[in-house]
Amino acid sequence: MIASCLPSVLSGKINAISSKSDAHRLLICAALADEQTIIRCNVMSKDIAATVDCLKAMGADIKVEKDIIMVTPAPFKTQAELDCSESGSTLRFLLPVVSALGIDAVISGHGRLPERPLSPLKEEMGKNGIIFHTGSRFPLHISGQLTAGNYELAGNVSSQFISGLLFALPLLRGDSKIKLIPPVESRSYIKITLSALKKFGIEITEEENLFIIKGNQKYRSPKETAVDGDWSNSAFFLCAGALGGDSVTVTGLDIASPQGDKKILDVLKNMGADISVSGDGVTVKADSLSGTTVDASDIPDLVPIISVTAALISGETQIKNAGRLRLKECDRLAAVYDMLTAVGISVTQTNDGLIIIGGSPTGGKIDGCNDHRMVMSAAILGLFCSEPVNITDAQAVEKSYPNFFEDFNSLGGNASVIDNGK
């Protein structure tokens, strides 16, 4: 699908969609719990649906009705086929979980997912009772029974590996430890996992770069819970508010959330934006903005929209410690470089980041790279281009924010489909 975005101004108020990061975690905990859990979630993106489908394939009874997901635990199967679609979280969270449950599993994935790394998680699971019959080739076939023990992981590859083990190890008979080798990046995503586990009665002891997990723990349902509002996807509209128009307000956001992407407020403040918080609403107004330095080690998902913001303000912005973006749905550093240079912005790629000099973008065709965050960033960029922007692979927003363009237009954007082919 190709979406055309015309220059326009966003202003007004929208409600944040539910965080897919939080939804994945609550769904897994609910499937492992002792009784039914009702989860309030106002969006069903493709990634969340992938986790739901995999948990159902494992044996859980899950029903989705409007903004409610009802998860009823059931006896898990001994064999299962799991389709993780393009969701890295689904794959990396459930690999240890199915192994802890002793499920003989065949796991498939699509898009760039089969190319994304499984090491060192695969090797650590192999040392602790799990056989990878197809190596790292998809479809993965794994069998065996995960055993308790000492696990050691590099802290700068994927926090999803750590989260997967944190879900799985409390289920085992013995006690376990996870040692992280510094530097540890994306700590905030680990905090989201720990928060979800705490809601379901699981206790984890954290000592700097060590997690101590008691075995034989039971997941206990809180009976009802709600998914946090999504700071990652709200960032697109908050940045638009900082760049022009009267103001943009996003409601349904928790300033105390463990989500690390709430740091978008710090980034915008450092650039000079006017930000106010009232209750669960965050309002951002345009002001005189200038470039800054951004350490992306804990906020990799924000890099595309931060880059677009940097391209539209005065001065130079340096984004560093973002090397892992080359292993996402696309090589996001290269994709951002291509997007911004295509509209006439000066950008330099480094090994782990970007140097962007703000300017006046022209417009034209932008490759969405089948990446939801690239497509949404390109739409915000299109607001400030002198000519229309046509974005390929615009359907990729369904991965995390299926109603993005509806919300975009409700705030005054002018986006339309000009080609509905895939």
Whether the link from the prior residue into 183 is cis, omega within 30° of 0, is yes
Give just the sign of the alpha carbon dihedral 135, 138, 140, 141. Answer: negative
Task: Identify any residues that bridge with 112 across adjacent strands, giving them in sequence order.
Answer: none
Active-site annotation holder among 22, 230, 261, 301 = 301
Q: Which residues of 9-43 are buried (b: 16+ CB within 10 A; e: fewer)?
A: bbbeebbbbbbbbbbbbbbbbbbbbeeebbbebbb
Instruction: Answer yes or no: are the C-beta atoms of 320 and 349 closer than 8 Å.
Output: no
In angstroms, the CA 420 to CA 422 distance is 7
Residue 154, token pair as written in the block: 């590099």
- Rounded (10°) angle between helices 372-382 and 231-243: 20
In angstroms, the CA 294 to CA 301 distance is 13
In angstroms, the CA 252 to CA 17 distance is 8
Active site residue 301: yes
In angstroms, the CA 198 to CA 195 distance is 5
Which burial class, exposed, middle or buried, applies to 115 when counting CB atoms under 10 A from its CB (0-12, 13-18, 19+)? exposed
Catalogue the active-site residues. 301
